[in-house]
Amino acid sequence: MGEKTEIYSGIRQKTEALLKIKDMSLSFIQYTSGLRQTELKVISGLSMEAHKGEILAVVGSSGSGKSLLAHAILGILPSNAKLEGKMEYCACTLTQEKKEELRGKELALIPQSTTYLDPLMRISDQVIGSVEEENEGLRKKLQRKIFRKYDLKPEVERMFPHELSGGMTRRVLVSTAVISSAKLIIADEPTPGLDDKTLKETLSYFRDMANNGCAVILITHDIEAALKISDKIAIFYAGTILEVANVEDFKNDGEYLRHPYTRALWNALPQNKFQAIKGHQPMQDEVTDGCIFYERCSKKSEFCSKGFPNLKRVNGGLVRCNNVS
Amino acid sequence: MKHAKLGFFLGKKTIKLISLLVVVCFASFWIVEQSPIDPVRAYIGEMSIQSEQKAKLDEYWGVNTPVQEKFFNWAGKLLKGDFGVSLIYRVPVIDVIKEKFTASLILMACSWLISGVIGFVLGIIAGMKNGTWIDKAIKTYCYILTATPTFWLALLLLMVFSVYLGLFPLGFSVPIGVAAANVTLFDKFQHLILPALTLSLLGVAQIAMFTREKLIKVLLSDYVLFAKARGEKGLDLILRHGVRNVALPAITLQFLGFSELFGGAALVEQVFSYPGIGQATVAAGLRSDVPLLLGIVIFSAIFVFFGNLIADLIYEFIDPRLKQKEAML
């Protein structure tokens, strides 16, 4: 299987995506009052691609459902979740069974915090993970090598998660992905709470992974951090992706950016205009007919209030807006 | 460093034990003093005597000495290790307790272990299969058990297995009419099974429900989600992360259950006429054997205290998280 994939990607190189998501939507079945069921839509009509050797940053505000996107790709959603749409990995449909087979091997998650480590398990055992006995020696060696690379001292191996500092935790979590030799790495909010030096270091790990041929999806709310290392930025808003821009598009006044929201986000940064736009993201249970950004948009027209625009290719990027051509 | 901490911990606990015993002595003595129990009457037994003789005996035993004096007399002797003489067994209290406690200890140890292991396994299964019919069956079983009085279950087992099926002896810890020297280990074992089974069956419920709840919580945790994201699944996942995180609190709970074990033993021993500390307690209470009753109260307090002590030790010295917290303080 691995070999075949190798050939596949060898031929198509960067042009073919490692992971392709088309029109994904995710909703949760909830019981409201009594036995009445409602469906809460958290992601709708989301399309994106992750390429080998590239970092794709998915940027959106906290609580907008970005983590769920990661969980959906890995197939670790709770049982009341309903996932629709098409997902392809290496040009094969990514079914739940396929996800279960691939995760830990080709798909890896780098979670956000220390709570994702077993509080009662020693660090080396966690990094090594669950392996057959005959492979244990090999994995142990690999783990030592990775720890040396990430400057984790040998005594860290015997520590428990609560004994790690923030930076160490980050490196340990990164190690869990590196040891798996995964091809698609999804990092979920890897930057909050890090000082400048650790932040730089952490970001460089992801760049390294991409340079080694992995496809990295970086889920974050920190657009500045994302701009430092990513190749492409996907703007996540109210459960969908409004724009996929190249990192070079983010400059000056944002005139190369396609979507009004992306431009607003760019101009809200302190080093730019430091201007916030009014309003807030629509809540998950708010039903909107037209463009999801309609209420807050500065360029809206009558046409925008009916039907959500489709994703279209503009200047080497993707955008969901009627007013761009 | 570590020894110093252990020393400090044990020192603190020793002081706690001493203050606990002082309070227990005080309270139990006061309660007995307030009760209508007449120790002299208990001493005389069924013999009929004239009131004149009774008055003489009262004076001899010091019935009319002031309460404080009585207490200090008794407590002073306690400090020297003298618990007095049992009125019903006519031997020193300490000997009675020693003999009865040993008999009960094996019974309690068996049921403690069995209920712990079975309860834990059932809890893990139920938690793992949360919501399925297996989980519901285990839950129902546990609810029924918690609602079952100990003596009732003991009687039921006795009726079914001893009376109807004749598989086990009706009671006592050794066969009737056999010289003590001829009692085999098998005999003793056979007499132990039903009482131990009763206690085990009842002990299962609490630990199983606790383990189940705890495991369900663990399975919803971030670290289990992450383990799944790394390809771990099924029983392997449960063993690697579930059991690891549930075991410590479950063992702690089992040690905290020493007091219930003691209460359960008293009832079960009564039904099975098993000559242990439980039965001695009931006998001492019913037949106004004050020295024995007070002695047992003190010993059971120590027994339960040690159960709690072990639970604390596990938490403070085995759980790595608390180990760390202490070190930071």
Q: What is the ipTM of this complex?
A: 0.85
A120 in reach of chain B (CB within 8 A): yes
User: In the predicted model, what is the mean pLDDT of residues B247-271?
Assistant: 88
Q: Judge whether residue A11 has pLDDT over 60.
A: no
Q: Which residue of B has its CA nearest to A101?
A: B231
Q: Judge whether residue A217 has pLDDT over 90.
A: yes
Residue A13 confidence class, pLDDT cut points 50, 70, 90: very low
* Inside any domain, residue A53: yes
Q: What is the domain partition of chain B in residue ranges? A: 2-79, 93-328
Out of A71, A104, A120, name the one closest to residue B245 (CB): A120
If DSSP states are collapsed to H, E and C, what string results for chain A? CHHHHHHHHHHHHHHCCCEEEEEEEEEEEEECCCCCEEEEEEEEEEEEEECCCCEEEEECCCCCCHHHHHHHHHCCCCCCEEEEEEEEECCEECCHHHHHHHECCCEEEECCCHHHCCCCCCHHHHHHCCCCHHHHHHHHHHHHHHHHHCCCCHHHHHCCHHHCCHHHHHHHHHHHHHCCCCCEEEEECCCCCCCHHHHHHHHHHHHHHHHCCCEEEEEECCHHHHHHHCCEEEEEECCEEEEEEEHHHCCCCCCCCCCHHHHHHHHCCCCCCCCCCCCCCCCCCCCCCCCCCHHHCCCCCHHHHCCCCCCEEECCEEECCCCCC
Residues A16-60: tens digit of each pLDDT: 689 989 889 898 888 877 778 888 888 888 888 899 999 999 998
User: For residue B62, how many other CB atoms are within 10 A of its CB?
Assistant: 12
Residue B196 and residue B193: Cα distance in Å, rounded?
5
CA dihedral A233, A237, A239, A242 (to 10 degrees): -60
Contacts of A74 in chain B (CB under 8 A): 229
Q: Which of A29-43, A195-209, B113-127, B267-281 has the highest mean predicted lDDT (pLDDT)?
A: B113-127
pLDDT confidence of residue B61: 75
Contacts of B229 in chain A (CB under 8 A): 71, 74, 76, 103-104, 107-109, 111
Tokens of B32: 């007995």
Q: How many domains does chain A have?
A: 1
Q: Which of residues 142-161 of A touch B (CB under 8 A)?
A: 160
State the average pLDDT for chain A.
Answer: 83
Q: Judge whether residue A265 has pLDDT over 90.
A: no
Contact A116 B223 (CB under 8 A): yes
Phi-psi region of A290 (alpha: psi -120 to 50; beta: other; left: phi over 0): beta
Q: Which residue of A has its CA nearest to B237?
A: A130
Cα of A306 to nearest chain B Cα, Å: 39
User: In the predicted model, what is the mean pLDDT of residues B168-173?
Assistant: 75
**Segment among A279-293, B203-217, B264-278 with least mean pLDDT:** A279-293
Residue B229 and residue B249: Cα distance in Å, rounded?
26
Residue B41 confidence class, pLDDT cut points 50, 70, 90: confident
pLDDT confidence of residue B218: 94
**Segment among A129-138, A236-245, B165-174 with least mean pLDDT:** B165-174
Contact B321 A160 (CB under 8 A): yes
CATH code for position A284: 3.40.50.300
Distances (CA, A) of B15 to A146, B1, B9, B12, B81: 50, 21, 10, 5, 19
Contacts of B222 in chain A (CB under 8 A): 111, 113, 115-116
Residue A154 vs residue A314, higher pLDDT: A154
Q: Which residue of A has its CA nearest to B324?
A: A163
* Inside any domain, residue A124: no
User: In the predicted model, what is the mean pLDDT of residues B5-27?
Assistant: 90
* B92 three-class SS: strand
Residues paired with B289 in a beta bridge:
none
Cα of A182 to nearest chain B Cα, Å: 10
Out of A103, A118, A129, name the one closest to residue B223 (CB): A118
Residue A24 vs residue B174, higher pLDDT: A24
Residue A280 confidence class, pLDDT cut points 50, 70, 90: confident
B227 in reach of chain A (CB within 8 A): yes
Residue B2 confidence class, pLDDT cut points 50, 70, 90: low
CATH level 3 topology of B93-328:
MetI-like fold (1.10.3720)
A108 in reach of chain B (CB within 8 A): yes
Tokens of B152: 């009732």
Distance of CA A289 to the CA centre of its chain: 27
Contact B230 A121 (CB under 8 A): no
A192 in reach of chain B (CB within 8 A): no
User: For residue A147, how many other CB atoms are within 10 A of its CB?
Assistant: 21
Q: Which residue of A has its CA nearest to B230?
A: A104
A7 in reach of chain B (CB within 8 A): no
Q: Judge whether residue B325 has pLDDT over 90.
A: no
* Inside any domain, residue A176: no
Overall residue count recorded for chain A in this entry? 325
B240 in reach of chain A (CB within 8 A): yes
Q: Which residue of A has its CA nearest to B239?
A: A130
Contact B223 A119 (CB under 8 A): yes
Out of B231, B236, B320, name the one closest to residue A103 (CB): B231
Out of B223, B229, B240, name the one closest to residue A130 (CB): B240
Q: Judge whether residue B324 has pLDDT over 70.
A: no
pLDDT confidence of residue A12: 36
Structural domain for A231, as ranges: 2-106+182-319
CA dihedral B167, B170, B176, B181 (to 10 degrees): 60
A130 in reach of chain B (CB within 8 A): yes
Q: Judge whether residue B20 has pLDDT over 50.
A: yes
CA atoms within 13 A on the CB side of B303: 22
pLDDT confidence of residue A136: 86
B241 in reach of chain A (CB within 8 A): yes
Cα of B231 to nearest chain A Cα, Å: 5
Residue B120 and residue B114: Cα distance in Å, rounded?
10
Contact assessment for residue B67 and residue B33, using Cβ atoms and an 8 Å cutoff: yes
Residue A52 vs residue B64, higher pLDDT: A52
- β-pair type (A232-237, A81-89): unpaired
